[in-house]
Amino acid sequence: MVRKQWLTEEQFLSGANQVNLAVFVGASLRGIPGAAAALLGLCLVPVALILTLGFVYFTFKELPAVKGALHGASAAAVALTLAMVVKTGRKCLTGPVPLALFAAAFVLTGVLRWPLLVSLAILAPLSLWWAWPRNTPEHLPTSPAAS
């Protein structure tokens, strides 16, 4: 998305989830029909694929080839996740608080194996509180006459 200049890198890293991102890009390119097409394209194809793969898995899950393929896929998923952490971390993890929040999320979910919802219930309010704009000089709006 950034490479094709549909979004700036800041917009991409702003925290929008995939559905919001698809609707934003679709609406930016083609208005309401684009947003609807992006939403349908994002949701319908994956649902069909997951249902098909679920059927195939439950039919053939005891075959050694299927078990081997799943082990390889899980290794690839870990590698992709680490690559995304490195890429986005360069832009997002720029200070002690973001690094501490990242480390806490890693420890809670990766080391202690706490459920994701419990980890989010703890870390999301802290993250929002830290990122919320304050009434400091750099966050105060400037008047049009000042520019």
**Residues 6+ positions from 102 with CB-CB distance below 8 Å:** 89, 93
| H or E stretch covering 106 | none
Calpha distance 56→62 (Å, rounded)? 11
Per-domain residue ranges of the chain: 1-61, 66-92, 94-132
* pLDDT tens for each residue of the chain, 147 residues long: 557 777 677 766 665 677 888 888 899 999 999 999 998 988 898 899 999 989 988 999 889 988 888 889 989 998 998 898 888 888 888 889 999 999 999 999 989 999 999 999 999 999 999 988 876 655 555 555 554
- The CA distances from residue 118 to 81, 100, 105, 122, in Å, are 21, 17, 11, 6
Helix ranges, 9-17 (H): 9-12
Torsion of CA 72, 78, 81, 85, to 10 degrees: -140
